Structure 1
Amino acid sequence: MFENIQFANPQIFWLLLGLPVAVLWYFFKRKDQTASLKFPSLKGFPKNDLLPRLKPVLFAMRLLALACIITAMARPQIREISTRTKTTSGIDIVMAIDVSSSMLARDLRPNRLAALKEVASKFIEERPNDRIGLVAYAGESYTKTPITSDKGIVLNALREITYGQLADGTAIGMGLATSVNRLKDSKATSKVIILLTDGVNNSGFIEPETAANLAVEFGIKTYTIGLGTNGNALSPIAYNADGSFRYGMREVEIDEALLQKIASVTGGQYFRATNNQKLEAIYDEINKLEKTEIEEFRYYNNEEKFRPWVLLAGILLLSEWIFRTTVFKSFV
């Protein structure tokens, strides 16, 4: 009966504090309310001990009726809430991912590329109201997934990104330019590129500065991330006879000045991730910086439930009156 019940005027329940006061008043005044007459002997009168003892039931019925009236005044109701959300300021995001051989370095666990894919997957899942696309680049670049609101497609495409799909190298300018091309016709209020690399620009025919200027022209903000520990990292240095990589210690080279310039020119920020925890923290920070404005509409449907309480109070008062004027008439 009380499941999902809410009260429109819960402050009315303060009136229930008067009920214990009424009980105390009745307890101390009940003898004064009944006329008494002394007889030397009651042998000539019929004995009826039960009805006088049940007389307080009438007072209890009045109290219960009063409690029901107070509950009705508090307006019990069942509230059904339906919501509708509207994205008022959507964000289109392209994640440009470096897939060169150096992304297999093991200074992040289990390697840079695997760590990035894990963190990027979480980032994508936390952006349900935005469109996201993927660009992969190494010695050249290509669009892995155009911007889409289907997160399942984006996540599957991210899992499919591996080393070896492109010629080796690091074409930062190409990766940025391809990302700009994906976003230039977007009608979104905010357009963002998250460009990650672990090296220096050494491939491609588009300079990073040129691509950054294109981003500025189309109003695209770029967040850049330099990935890799400080110093040396266990990285692929050659091929074994079976085609697998031979690993050795190699100095980490990241063109931080270039990444800082790209971020500054386009209105973004530069971050440096030297381990898994910092990489995750960076994506969390970008997630906080780029907020999607969502407008929520709530519709309330209230079903009033005070009528049964009023009916119960009426039944109690009517029953009390009937008992008082019939069964208990001789004792009232």
Structure 2
Amino acid sequence: PPQEGRQMMLAMDVSGSMSEPDMVLGAQPVERLTAAKAVLADFLDRRAGDRVGLLVFGDRAYTLTPLTADLSSVRDQLRDSVVGLAGRETAIGDAIALAVKRLRNQPEGQRVLILLTDGVSNAGVLEPLRAAELARAEGVRVHTVAFGSDGSARFFGIPVAADRDPVDEATLRRIAEMTGGRFFRARDTDQLVGIYAELDRLEPIAAKGPTLRPRNERYAWPLAVALLLGALAWVWPERRR
């Protein structure tokens, strides 16, 4: 039988710093959010068999798509997300807590959160590490992705942006460690692609069971011979009488 798919929440930072144009996509400079959305959309294309939900966070955290097997709906909501949709600040703890709430009633061992942020938690009600304790208690595995360049990015040698709000790698690493997840650091779009490819391997999707190979049944010839012998055994005494 098929293995069970994952119950997976994707949490994406849409705070003000995600508008920094320090990423490159298709040889063109793009905002961090644009690059992240492109990579996440590709990731979703490979998750058939999972139920996926999408939440965004800024000052607060909001669910855009509850857990669903309709990944096209998730892609649509992802596409329409914009910087500032949830405020300009960064509430990492609230994002984790909201994901835990959405996942707590799902089957054990399948509860996964992938959280992407480019900043430091500076808003919200719940501290990130307290939220990580809640995730651990509810069996939610949290993978954290720190996104954003170090210092200024260059395009054909020209500085295009400065990283005004460095990402809090230490806290994100601790969240992942506490919940049994992995921490990743992406400084450009290519690294982000590699990270989501690795997450795809870490969280396997539903797989087909063992292949049943059709067998060539060979009982027909012995059965025919047996029937013929039985018929002869019945006919031969009659002919002698």
TM range (shorter): 0.7 to 0.9
Tell me the TM-score normalised to structure 1 length: 0.59
Partner of 1:203: 123
Moved over 6 A (4+): 301-304
Distance in 2 (CA, whole Å) between partners of 1:220 and 1:269 is 12
Task: Please tell me the residue identity of whatever aligns with 1:112.
Answer: R
Q: Superposition RMSD on alpha carbons, in Å? A: 2.0
Partner of 1:143: 63
CA contact under 8 A between 1:129 and 1:292: conserved in structure 2? yes
Distance in 2 (CA, whole Å) between partners of 1:261 and 1:200 is 14
Q: Which has the larger radius of gyration?
A: 1
Partner of 1:220: 140
Shift of 1:166: 1.9
CA contact under 8 A between 2:21 and 2:161: conserved in structure 1? no
Shift of 1:187: 1.8
Q: Does 1:270 align with 2:183?
A: yes
Partner of 2:90: 170
Partner of 1:256: 169
From the two aligned structures, give the one with the greater strand fraction: 1
Q: Does 1:100 align with 2:15?
A: yes
Distance in 2 (CA, whole Å) between partners of 1:87 and 1:182 is 24
Shift of 1:233: 5.2
Which secondary structure does the structure 2 equivalent of 1:192 belong to?
A: strand
Q: What are the superposed Cα offsets for residues 56-78 of structure 1, whole Å, 9 maximum, x if unpaired?
A: xxxxxxxxxxxxxxxxxxxxxxx
CA contact under 8 A between 2:50 and 2:206: conserved in structure 1? no
Shift of 1:298: 3.4
Partner of 1:59: none
Tell me the TM-score normalised to structure 2 length: 0.80
Which secondary structure does the structure 2 equivalent of 1:93 belong to?
A: strand
CA contact under 8 A between 1:225 and 1:270: conserved in structure 2? yes
How do 1:69-218 residues align onto structure 2 when only pairs under 5 Å count? 86-109=1-24, 110-187=30-107, 189-218=109-138
Q: Does 1:284 align with 2:224?
A: no
Task: Please tell me the residue identity of whatever aligns with 2:75.
Answer: L
CA contact under 8 A between 1:230 and 1:252: conserved in structure 2? no
CA contact under 8 A between 1:232 and 1:252: conserved in structure 2? no
Partner of 1:28: none
Shift of 1:302: 6.2
Partner of 1:78: none
Distance in 2 (CA, whole Å) between partners of 1:135 and 1:162 is 12
CA contact under 8 A between 2:150 and 2:163: conserved in structure 1? no
Q: What are the superposed Cα offsets for residues 44-91 of structure 1, whole Å, 9 maximum, x if unpaired?
A: xxxxxxxxxxxxxxxxxxxxxxxxxxxxxxxxxxxxxxxxxx432321
Task: Please tell me the residue identity of whatever aligns with 1:265.
Answer: M
Distance in 2 (CA, whole Å) between partners of 1:263 and 1:178 is 17
Give the total of aligned pairs.
207
Unaligned runs of at least 5 residues, structure 2? 25-29, 155-159, 219-241
Task: Please tell me the residue identity of whatever aligns with 1:104.
Answer: S
Shift of 1:168: 1.3
Shift in alpha-carbon separation, 1:121–1:250, aligned structure 2, 3 A: closer
How do 1:23-34 residues align onto structure 2 when only pairs under 5 Å count? none
Unaligned runs of at least 5 residues, structure 1? 1-85, 235-246, 305-332
Shift of 1:294: 2.3
Distance in 2 (CA, whole Å) between partners of 1:208 and 1:280 is 25
Partner of 1:294: 207
Shift of 1:249: 3.2
Shift of 1:295: 3.6
Shift of 1:292: 3.0
